[in-house]
Structure 1
């Protein structure tokens, strides 16, 4: 890597830092305002709301990664253009396309860094933050941690957990077992359960109904051992949204869902989004190149940032709409998550080529 390449990358990362310093406090303030709406004297305290916002800062950084790449690229290259250093660099033989490739290298470094943060920092912290929030809000009203229903299937047996208590133990366990002709053979309801091991549960306050040749029998027991068939991921994590999972957790859970013939579209889409977002980040930094080569007198840096912000917002909204449509209509997950970022990269490369020929 040449001296000029390192110099450009340093300025680009300075721009990334400036954009992150602007966007993170702004969006964190919005998140805090949203969290404070749920604060109450007997449950979710304001200190917990502040802690939740701080713990979700890495996730906010990941989500804003493409924005930061676009605005940071405009700032970094814009400063070089304003001081005529970009012109001086080009006079040494650096073409617009070569500058774009250096910017792309900086974008790859930025995307890889965000990917590492997402996998090992953002996902665990966000999961823990949501658990803290759910426990605090549940404690106020004396309700269970989550109202999300967890389902699992093995063969003709279906198992569902209504919610989890403060200790993360199942509450409201229902088990349905069907015969091969799809008639219900027995039904079990347990008020709660204790997880002894990953797949060893003890159902408590059990009521069992069984049907045999048109006859119904009802049996009540204080406890009943049961081999559960949820994945080895903890139940409190399974109750969280799929976009909070790490790549390792998503791969594990998707394999489990497919093995047990359960819907996995939401999680497959979340997995492919983790690849689509870095590609969109690279597209954004390439789109910053044309802004840098606008004649400095034609528009100030503030105007370029405003236009760049609008462009980034439109692309972000379009991407979210496309992803939600893919989830709604069960479209191909890789295609849904990658088509827009890939098209953006191609368009950005065409724009860079155009500027390279013109200038």
Structure 2
């Protein structure tokens, strides 16, 4: 790698930093405004909402990765083009394709860093933030319930858990057991529970209802044992949405869903999106190259950034639509999550090659 390549990579990274400095505060503000809708006097306070937003900043950075890649590439290469440094590199024998490959090298480093951040920083922090919010909302008697309520099934037994307390103990447990003819055998509601071990839970403040011969009987218990349908997978992980999972957690959750005969397509798509996101970021970096060489002087940087933001937004929305359509129509998870980024990367490579021949 010569001095020109190192200089290019450095300026592209400066562009990434400038794009991140512009986008992250903006989207974090929107996130904070959204969190304020859940604030209440008896449970979730604004200080906790602010803490949740701060803990989700790494996730925000990862989600904005494609935007940062496109806008950062436009800023970094655009500044070099404006100062005629790219022209000097071209005169020294550097082709447009080689400039694009150097930008791609910066993108690979950026992508690897984001993947490591996602696996070991963003996912744990986001889960802690969601748990903090759930615990705060559970203290509010007027709250409608946690957004992360867990449903599980094993054979003819269904279980729902409202939330977990600060000690990761289940709160608001409902158990439904059906006969083979789908008539209800019994229903159990317990305010709290403790996990003893070997799949045994102790339920507290229990209301148990049974149906037999057309009659209903109701019994109250201070406590009672229950053979849990959950396996070794952590309840804290099971309560979390798929976008907060690391790759390891997604694999564990998919195994759990398959073991209990529950649908797992959402989580398989989320797993393959972990691979699709880096490809999408690399494609967006390459798309910044045509912006740089379209015309160095006109339109201005502001117009290019606005166009890049529109393209980035359309790409993000289109990708989410495709993912949700794949979930709705049960398409192949790898095909749904990987095909659009790969096609976009191929298109970007074609455009870079075209501009290389043109210039």
Q: Note if 1:229 corresponds to 2:229.
A: yes
- Residue of structure 2 equivalent to 1:258: 258
- Cα distance in 1, alignment partners of residues 145 and 179 from structure 2: 34
- Residue of structure 2 equivalent to 1:268: 268
1:69 is paired with a residue whose SS is helix
- Residue of structure 2 equivalent to 1:5: 5
- Residue of structure 2 equivalent to 1:34: 34
Q: CA offset at residue 151 of structure 1? A: 2.8
- Cα distance in 1, alignment partners of residues 130 and 220 from structure 2: 36
Q: Report the CA distance shift for 1:190/1:342 in structure 2 as closer, same or farther (over 3 A).
A: same
Q: Report the CA distance shift for 1:52/1:175 in structure 2 as closer, same or farther (over 3 A).
A: closer
- Residue of structure 2 equivalent to 1:19: 19
- Cα distance in 1, alignment partners of residues 92 and 198 from structure 2: 64
- Cα distance in 2, alignment partners of residues 174 and 349 from structure 1: 54
Structure 1 contact 144–164 (Cα < 8 Å) conserved? no
- Cα distance in 2, alignment partners of residues 221 and 44 from structure 1: 31
Deviations 1:217-273 (A, max 9, x none): 776543322231324343243222111111111110011101221011221121111
Unaligned runs of 5+ in 2: none
- Residue of structure 2 equivalent to 1:334: 334
- Cα distance in 1, alignment partners of residues 145 and 237 from structure 2: 12
- Residue of structure 2 equivalent to 1:279: 279
- Residue of structure 1 equivalent to 2:351: 351
Question: Over aligned residues, Cα RMSD in angstroms?
Answer: 2.5
- Residue of structure 2 equivalent to 1:324: 324
- Cα distance in 1, alignment partners of residues 191 and 161 from structure 2: 10
Q: Note if 1:49 corresponds to 2:52.
A: no
- Residue of structure 1 equivalent to 2:195: 195
Provide the TM-score with structure 1 as the length reference. Answer: 0.90
Q: CA offset at residue 216 of structure 1? A: 7.7
Q: Report the CA distance shift for 1:148/1:65 in structure 2 as closer, same or farther (over 3 A).
A: closer
Structure 2 contact 149–162 (Cα < 8 Å) conserved? yes
- Residue of structure 1 equivalent to 2:242: 242
- Residue of structure 2 equivalent to 1:128: 128
Structure 2 contact 9–106 (Cα < 8 Å) conserved? yes
Provide the TM-score with structure 2 as the length reference. Answer: 0.90
Q: CA offset at residue 351 of structure 1? A: 0.4
Using the TM superposition, name which of 14-23 and 265-274 deviates more: 265-274
- Cα distance in 2, alignment partners of residues 44 and 153 from structure 1: 30
- Cα distance in 2, alignment partners of residues 188 and 42 from structure 1: 28
- Cα distance in 2, alignment partners of residues 179 and 40 from structure 1: 42
Q: Report the CA distance shift for 1:338/1:211 in structure 2 as closer, same or farther (over 3 A).
A: same
- Residue of structure 2 equivalent to 1:100: 100
- Residue of structure 1 equivalent to 2:309: 309
Structure 1 contact 146–239 (Cα < 8 Å) conserved? no
- Residue of structure 2 equivalent to 1:169: 169
- Residue of structure 1 equivalent to 2:117: 117
Using the TM superposition, name which of 51-60 and 27-36 deviates more: 27-36
Q: Report the CA distance shift for 1:305/1:180 in structure 2 as closer, same or farther (over 3 A).
A: same
Q: Report the CA distance shift for 1:222/1:125 in structure 2 as closer, same or farther (over 3 A).
A: same
- Cα distance in 2, alignment partners of residues 186 and 300 from structure 1: 70
Q: Aligned residues, how many?
A: 359
2:197 is paired with a residue whose SS is coil
1:62 is paired with a residue whose SS is helix
Q: CA offset at residue 39 of structure 1? A: 3.0
